[in-house]
């Protein structure tokens, strides 16, 4: 959420930043609501003071035996009491409208972010690995003979509908091995704190990370009001919801492996084949809570953590900075990491690492207490995939496929597979 004081002090700068995200003159309605709200608060305070003054005079008039003045003052007190209640109710309504408006506006991009409309305007900043050359036409993951026995989309559809899958046998084991490898790497080498969190959260947790109110249709809500998390960003970031922590405890770096749930409401007809876009999937999520002075460096550190997973797996990738038109709602800067998928002959997103600044912290009221004293300040939050497990499985299968329908598996996974290194064309591991 945005700082109303900053908007009041420099509406032109706010509007210029919002214009880069496609919103013109965003401050006009904000400042109009804010002015009306402040006027109501002032009117309520004035009426309250007049009510208090008249209340004191009522007793004096009674003591003097001035019944006419007593009746006039008593009526005035009653009128002012009603006026105060009315003004306070109106101010509360205007405050809620202002909050809702601010809650629905995206974060401000950093000055360095490239302007653009969509993914075509993103800027590549790093590339690693060379896509392998195949002496046969490479298949998509769900077409590889060794994968077919362990990836059942018909069973998924029977159980739950479109965009669900049942994994079995070797494919399910490779999927599990990938998640375990990611967690172990982040915990043992990258210094993240392994964390297990619920996948059902209260509504205010979704507001805290910016998933509500704007993107409610992209998530699932239970009949009793809980929400299924779209990623563990929601739970990990909200660990500091409403807290004021000591500066010495920063940065706080978390990693969690969870089931994730997305309705994919805005992607009808997109990526319907295979496992690329599912309603239920798994991710290893990274979240950092930092001091504002260190958040930009933390973004690069987190990006390196995600890239390192792909390098260990030997998967070619590229990293891009998202332009203003492609950047997510809560981000000030985002690095997308795209892995090479030979079956599609293109790079596809496998991780998105974002710096949110104090945007989420304001929504959560999450602050830190400076070590040298002074007023508590908002923390900065960052989040990123480290990685999307299903998409990583796709990349491993497609990049490791061989002409006979088998799949050679990355060496770092062999210990997690009992020493096995090959998914055979019949779907078994050896």
- Is the same domain home to 275 and 303? yes
Of 253, 367, 391, 420, the active-site residue reads 391
Residue range 209-225, pLDDT digits in tens? 999 998 899 999 999 99
pTM above 0.85, yes or no: yes
Is the residue at 114 inside a domain?
Answer: no
- Establish if 428 belongs to a structural domain: no
Concerning whether 352 is annotated as a catalytic residue, the answer is yes
CATH of the domain at 56: 1.10.287.40
Residue 362 lies in a domain: yes
**402 lies in a domain?**
yes
* Cβ 143 vs Cβ 407: under 8 Å: no
Whether residue 245 is found in the same domain as residue 207:
yes
Can you read off the two tokens belonging to residue 232? 């563990």
Q: What is the pLDDT of residues 121-132, one digit of tens each?
A: 999 999 999 999
Domain boundary, last residue among 58, 74, 103: 103
What CA–CA distance (Å, rounded) separates 419 from 412? 10
Catalytic option among 20, 37, 163, 262 = 262
Buried b (16+ CB within 10 A) or exposed e, 130-168: eeeeeeeebbbbbebbbbbbbbbbeebeeeeeebbbbbe
Same domain? 65 vs 184: no
Residues 260 and 322 in one domain: yes
Q: Is residue 285 a known part of a binding site?
A: yes
Rounded (5°) CA angle 236-239-244: 140
The reply, when asked if residue 53 is annotated as ligand binding, is no
Asked whether residue 209 is domain-assigned, the answer is: yes
Q: Is 301 part of the annotated catalytic residue set? A: no
For residues 49 and 149, membership in a common domain is answered with no
Same domain, 139 and 75: no
Q: Which of 277, 296, 318, 348 is catalytic?
A: 277
Is 109 within the bounds of a domain? no
Q: Is residue 13 part of a domain?
A: yes
Contact criterion met (CB below 8 Å) for 391 and 313: no
Question: Which of 45, 97, 349, 421 is an active site residue?
Answer: 349
**Active-site residue flag, 391:** yes
Q: Are 380 and 357 in contact (CB under 8 A)?
A: yes
Is position 350 annotated in a ligand binding site?
yes
| Number of domains into which the chain is organized | 2
383 is in an annotated binding site: yes
- Do 299 and 238 sit in the same domain of this protein? yes
Let me know whether 355 and 280 are in one domain.
yes
Same domain, 16 and 91: yes
To the question of whether residue 67 is assigned a binding role by annotation, the answer is no
Determine the structural domain holding residue 92 and report its residue range: 4-103
Domain identity same for 270 and 374: yes
Question: What gap in Å lies between CA 421 and CA 412, rounded to an integer?
Answer: 10
Residue 332 forms part of a structural domain: yes
Establish whether 82 is an annotated binding residue: no
Model confidence at 68, pLDDT cuts 50, 70, 90, reads confident
State the Cα–Cα distance between residues 309 and 302, nearest whole angstrom. Answer: 11
| CA distances to 35, 41, 72 from 85, in Å | 19, 11, 20
**pLDDT tens track for 129-182:** 999 999 999 999 999 999 999 999 999 999 999 999 999 999 999 999 999 999
Catalytic residue, chosen from 27, 288, 295, 352, is 352
217 is in an annotated binding site: no
297 and 383 assigned to the same domain? yes
Residue 269 pLDDT > 80: no
Do 67 and 183 lie in one domain? The reply is no
pLDDT per residue as tens digits for the range 315-329:
999 999 999 999 999
């Amino acid at each position: 959420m945005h700082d109303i004081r900053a908007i009041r002090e420099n509406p032109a700068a706010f509007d210029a930043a919002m214009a880069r995200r496609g919103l013109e003159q965003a401050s006009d309605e904000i400042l109009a609501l804010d002015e009306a709200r402040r006027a109501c608060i002032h009117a309520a305070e004035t009426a309250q003071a007049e009510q208090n003054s008249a209340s004191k005079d009522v007793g004096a008039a009674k003591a003097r035996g001035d019944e006419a003045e007593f009746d006039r003052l008593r009526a005035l007190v009653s009128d002012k009491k009603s006026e105060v209640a009315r003004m306070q109710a109106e101010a509360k309504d205007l405050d809620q409208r202002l909050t809702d408006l601010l809650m629905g506006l995206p974060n401000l991009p950093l000055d360095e972010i490239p302007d653009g409309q969509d993914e075509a305007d993103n800027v590549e900043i790093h590339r690693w690995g060379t896509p392998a050359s195949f002496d046969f036409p490479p298949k998509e993951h769900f077409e590889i003979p060794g994968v077919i026995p362990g990836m059942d989309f018909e069973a998924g559809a029977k159980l739950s509908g479109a965009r669900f899958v049942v994994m079995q046998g070797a494919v399910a084991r490779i999927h599990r091995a990938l998640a375990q490898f990611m967690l172990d790497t982040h915990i043992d080498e990258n210094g993240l704190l392994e964390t297990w969190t619920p996948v059902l959260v209260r509504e205010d947790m979704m507001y805290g990370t910016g998933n509500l109110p704007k993107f409610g249709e992209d998530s699932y809500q239970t009949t009793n009001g809980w929400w299924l998390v779209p990623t563990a960003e929601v739970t990990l970031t909200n660990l500091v919801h409403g807290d004021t922590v000591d500066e010495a405890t920063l940065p706080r770096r978390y990693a969690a492996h969870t089931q994730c749930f997305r309705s994919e409401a805005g992607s009808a007809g997109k990526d319907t084949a295979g496992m690329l876009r599912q309603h239920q999937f798994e991710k290893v999520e990274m979240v950092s809570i930092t001091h504002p002075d260190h958040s930009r460096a933390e973004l690069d550190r987190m990006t390196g953590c995600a890239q390192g997973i792909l390098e260990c797996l030997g998967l070619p990738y590229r990293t891009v900075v998202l332009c203003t038109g492609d950047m997510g709602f809560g981000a000030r800067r985002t690095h997308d990491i795209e892995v090479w998928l030979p079956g599609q002959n293109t790079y596809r997103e496998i991780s998105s690492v974002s710096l949110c600044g104090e945007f989420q912290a304001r929504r959560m009221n999450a602050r830190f207490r400076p070590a040298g004293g002074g007023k508590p300040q908002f923390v900065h939050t960052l989040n990123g995939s480290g990685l999307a497990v299903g998409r990583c499985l796709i990349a491993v299968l497609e990049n490791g496929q061989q002409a006979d329908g088998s799949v050679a598996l990355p060496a770092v996974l062999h210990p997690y597979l009992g020493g096995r290194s090959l998914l055979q064309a019949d779907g078994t591991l050896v």
